[in-house]
Structure 1
Amino acid sequence: MSPPVFRFAPSPNGFLHLGHAYSALLNFDRAREAGGRLLLRIEDIDATRCRPEFEAAIYEDLAWLGIAWETPVRRQSEHLSDYRAALEKLSALGLVYPAFESRAEIARLVAAREADGPWPRDPDGAPLYPGDAKSLSAGEQARLIASGAPYALRLDMAAACWRVASLAWNELGEGPDGERGVVPARPEAWGDVILARKETPTSYHLSVVVDDGLQGISEVVRGQDLFHATSVHRLLQTLLGLPEPAYRHHALIRDEAGRKLSKSSRSTGLRELRDAGASPVGIRALVGLGEVSLGFSQTPP
């Protein structure tokens, strides 16, 4: 039997914070406990936000924590052909269509529909796609694309769900509401998700599924903020004929106000803590994996 394969997959769009440290350490510890392998993946498909200095900092911070990973590191920007092939396979099944509304136009459509009552939203709270791009003829779609109009390639969720039997996943961790064991997948709750854009040839949903499949990831250890997205990932895995990993979703590290740590909110970074005298053992303590206290106020998972 092949050893289990784990992965830590940060985006180089900012410096790592305690939440990243917790997830990385859990993956590292799980790999060691299971006699498995740990891979590092750099999710750098967002060319406007990802920067080389952040990628270099990821390697430095992880090494400082004592985390070892296999090389070479997979960088998503070097494998766009893999995502293109997956997108073409879904397109050949008749499950992909271009939508040309801007974000502002979608907001106006949602507002108009909500005049008649609440408009459905996905598990993250974003409104489901309200447009009617699926009704455009192939000729009109081709004309708009040839004109240079921006567009997003969306998954026809209803058609995709029709093609598969009931879906579920094996949850080794715990969902936000205590879900464990066999969890039913409900991808329809997400509506027609985006798979790619004109300027970005893949999306998180598509690339993470392709990467996990190609890298042979057997157990996905990640935060509970991605628990519900697993429904979409199970659907795409099934449509693309990719293997199904087990999932272990973990609690999030939160600040004193109960908010999850994030790069966008300028959460305290590992580099700042290191500069302030923190040690790798102390970082483990801060995220609930040790007993040493450095006096940094955090709510453990």
Structure 2
Amino acid sequence: MHTLVPAQWQARAAAHEARLAPFLDAHLARRTARVKHPVHDFLFVYYSHKPAALRRWHPGFGTALVDAEAYAGLKGYEVTDGVAAVTPAYVATQRVLLTTLQRLLRATLGRAGHFGCFGLHEWAMVYRLEQGETRHSSWPLRLGGEATDRVVESHRITCSHFDAFRFFTPPARGLNTLTPGRDDRADFEQPGCLHASMDLYKHAFRLSPMIGSDLVADCFELAREIRILDMRAAPYDLTGLWLDDEEFTPVRVETAEGKAEYAALQREFAERAAPLRRRLLAEVDRLLAVVPADGVATPA
């Protein structure tokens, strides 16, 4: 068990909070003002991790914090004489999550990336819908409804990610060449998929507090950048939307130039996601070593 004294862990906690504050504070300000954001809200609406939980720093299993009574009562922790640590017993309760993630992460790392989907999952989610029926109905479709439908019909849709595929409109589902399901993700996930890389954030926060918050924040920051590309390639006209002092510009995947731009950015994100996926797998392997097959936890 590694131990951090107050000066050490409080400095790390403060750095973590400062790192995430600009994004979290902006989100909370929009929420207070009841202003929706079609790009950034996704990270808090689709992903269920609350801003306060993301802001809170955890050292991860195997590290104890001295004078950390504030951690008493938090999920997974035990505080004894002011020393807080995630318990082996809590890790043992997460065996199903750990083994499921281990299989998924290993399978994804073992596959070559595919870079020919061109983000058309977002187009399939609005296929044959009226403007008021789309997920972001306040933002019009760039090409209009009929032209958007023609783009879907004129392409080979190859979505491998169930949590994107399940939002396809009913007539679009039959156009997908793959049929990923809820229970066979490990058979379909591939590292070129933007949503598979965004989901590294989901995997990371589900492993919290068993893993350190630095890894969760790394995955969050990558997910944020990927989400921007995801919506730049979407069929919505987001004219007037600004991101980090730069006007939001579409990646026109309905054109050859847009396809090339999307695929190049997709490859960059796959390369950046790979080390995070490996770090998550290493953490899962480490945590599973604490819980033998008989389910009896062993000390750190």
Scaled to the shorter chain, the TM-score interval is under 0.3
Structure with bigger strand share is 1
Q: Scaled by the length of structure 2, what TM-score is found?
A: 0.23
